[in-house]
Structure 1
């Protein structure tokens, strides 16, 4: 069986690329197709595979400014030839599922998110883009949405990384999806022997992650907050922060592990498709204070592995921190760590392989002898039910 893995772009190692690594383990002979490829910034595991980039690779500066090439991405993706593969697995967040497989191929899409910049985050991305992009987006976004919806028909089975993403797949593509949370290297994290007195925020410093809520809330409360990460909001966040808020920027993995293991709790005020960092914190035995939205609803057990708050505001977060401190002693390190184990690499690979094999079996044509039996036995043929709509307006609308 010839296998193709299609990933939107390979220019860093984040959550999406960890899924690609797991797929590489499952299919070590697979070829990888991508829009743009920077071999210096991906893992050796990915580099061991044959990686085929699109024509965007030849554009000067594409490895750094790939996002500005969004209008060309559908054309670049469809230029990649996967017609000779039996199994195509697309890893979707940017354009990836729009690949064109052969008619006999099975196409399974692992969806991290429908394209955020043309759907639910459209206005956020446009507001934070440069002037040329802000002026161009209203013209290109409708065509990209139409292409994104129609290419969903090229997918045989969708797998969503959370219930939150499955709901969006249903909303935008009108397709059902199996939920399988992404793999997290939980075994690389461990609890600390001594805790610190700080809370922690870790991740990219961009608007939708709402790090500003944490900085304002902790400045107002006077509690120690450590912020790990970098991004366009760094300067603004530093201006609003009090002396009790420390910014470490981008840190080595060893330091991140230490800070996660020693924090009182991880603070997660934004809405994520899934959220890898909360699982890493729980694998370190630490609870999570998170806004009750997005993927954390799949990963956090309220009052056992963390605490959820409803109002996404400074006041809502302050109230959540005070509630957490009132019950802080009830959280058990080993219980939290045990819960995190269900998000392991091994669990992901086992479940993903089963989903793929089930879809291949479902699409496999019947043997000729059995097809003849079904054709000659009316009782074995599929039955079509006729549904009468009582309301003529509904009938016309349908």
Structure 2
């Protein structure tokens, strides 16, 4: 019998979706189920199904849909499958309830909305805050000894142990190392002009323009180090970042909504990639290191694990401009020649597939 891959919801872009797609390539015969699917071209070759939430207005508001997610997942019949692999960052690990096929939960994080609301803006929603204790109690009901857990970093493994009281293996997510390492990525005329206008030497910060990514600190770090800054991305803080750029003591360029090709070129051109955010894993620093650029990351969160594993940059213990500037100086001294190969070995999709299937095979035979 085939397996079933359960993923929260399918969006056109997203790190967890990329992981779920890699799961699909590791298990090409598996079916896929999601609460709703906003990217029907993903998971080609798989039988992809949606739940009733896909036909309701709730799909447009994750906060409003939250009370309905767990009961929807738990009522899915998984008895026809040989195994269920949940790709979970909210309640997908509730799939099938306490019955059905053998379940494996790959946890990007226990739901940040209820367990770490300071890292998720949806956790600030008054409705979610009021119901958070009930959601936490509900979530614990589906933590069972016959479910096998893996975390995407040691940081999340520790969170799982803290909030659920169970142990998890660590299987790092896959990174598209080949794309990051590509020798040359074609750019269109507009992108080439953007690139030509940038300084020869700069530190790069890139992500969505949202508060917890702390791109303002990248500007402050560059100023403290006396190095120009490039900020790449898009989001609601665009105007605030533009104001900070205009007031900075060093030149700051903002590249809005770069294509994948331009972002990869920025990785390669940058002197260092500065990533102050606290992330569950942090794929972008790994992409930068795969491109041969050292990364500067904060100790808290999963990003520090990858930098230390491949020795591809510097880890800072605080987010003061002086400490970040010191990290930039240390990162610039790192010999990066062997780092892209180390990134490939540690985080390439072939490594992820081998570790994922090894984890599941070992546990299924135990």
Normalised by the length of structure 2, the TM-score is 0.88
- Partner of 1:390 in structure 2? none
Query: 1:32/1:126 Cα in 2 relative to 1: closer, same or farther (>3 Å)?
Result: closer
Alpha-carbon distance in structure 1 between the residues aligned to 2:119 and 2:279 = 17
1:354 to 346, 352, 358: 358
SS in 2 for 1:301: helix
Match of 1:53 among 47, 50, 53: 50
Matched, 1:141 2:132: yes
Other structure's SS at 1:90 match: strand
Segment drifting more, 174-183 vs 99-108: 99-108
Q: Which has the higher Rg, Structure 1 or Structure 2? A: 1
CA 1:302 to 1:23, structure 2 compared with 1: closer, same or farther past 3 Å? closer
Pick closer, same or farther for the CA change 1:309–1:191 going to 2, 3 Å. farther
What does 1:168-247 correspond to in 2, within 5 Å?
A: 168-190=159-181, 196-219=200-223, 222-242=226-246, 244-247=251-254
Identify if the C-alpha distance between structure 1 residues 348 and 317 changes in structure 2 by more than 3 Å, giving closer, same or farther. Answer: same
Which sections of structure 2, spanning at least 5 residues, go unmatched? 185-198
Equivalent residues in 2 for 1:1-398, closer than 5 Å: 1-40=1-40, 43=42, 46-60=43-57, 62=59, 64-100=60-96, 103=99, 105-122=101-118, 125=121, 129=124, 133-134=125-126, 136-153=127-144, 156-190=147-181, 196-219=200-223, 222-242=226-246, 244-301=251-308, 304-324=311-331, 328=332, 330-341=333-344, 342-362=346-366
Residue deviations 1:136-159, cap 9 Å, x none?
123211111111111121762101
CA distance in 1, matches of 2:183, 2:328: 22
Q: Tell me, in whole angstroms, the C-alpha distance in 2 between the residues paired with 1:303 and 1:30.
A: 33
- Long gaps (5+) in structure 1: 363-398
- Alignment partner of 1:175: what SS? coil
- Residue 182 of structure 1 deviates from its aligned partner by 0.4
Contact 1:162-1:180 within 8 A present in 2 as well: yes
Q: Secondary structure at the match of 2:318?
A: coil
Counterpart-to-counterpart distance in 2, 1:14 and 1:155: 29
How far apart are the structure 1 equivalents of 2:354 and 2:109?
Answer: 22
Structure 1 residues 360, 191: CA separation in 2 closer, same or farther (over 3 Å shift)?
closer
Mean alpha-carbon deviation: is it higher for 151-160 or for 96-105? 96-105
- C-alpha distance in 2, partners of 1:122/1:153? 27
Q: What's 1:375 paired with?
A: none
User: Could you say if the C-alpha distance between residues 359 and 323 of structure 1 is closer, same or farther in structure 2, counting changes exceeding 3 Å?
Assistant: closer
In 2, distance between residues paired with 1:155 and 1:206?
A: 38
Q: Is the 1:158–1:176 contact (alpha carbons within 8 Å) kept by the matching residues of 2?
A: yes
Query: How many pairs align?
Result: 348
Distance 1:123 1:344 in 2: 27
Any idea what SS the aligned residue of 1:182 has? coil
Cα distance in 2 between the residues matched to 1:349 and 1:34: 21
1:143 and 1:54 map into 2 onto residues whose CA distance is 23
CA distance in 2, matches of 1:182, 1:321: 26
Q: Find the aligned partners of 1:286 and 1:28 in 2 and give their Cα distance.
A: 34
Name the counterpart of 1:377.
none
Matches of 2:96 and 2:145, distance apart in 1? 7
- Distance in 2 separating the partners of 1:349 and 1:334: 26
Give the equivalent residue in structure 2 for 1:372: none
Q: Retained in 1: the 8 A contact 2:278–2:300?
A: yes
Q: CA deviation at 1:333?
A: 3.1
TM-score, with structure 1 as normaliser: 0.81
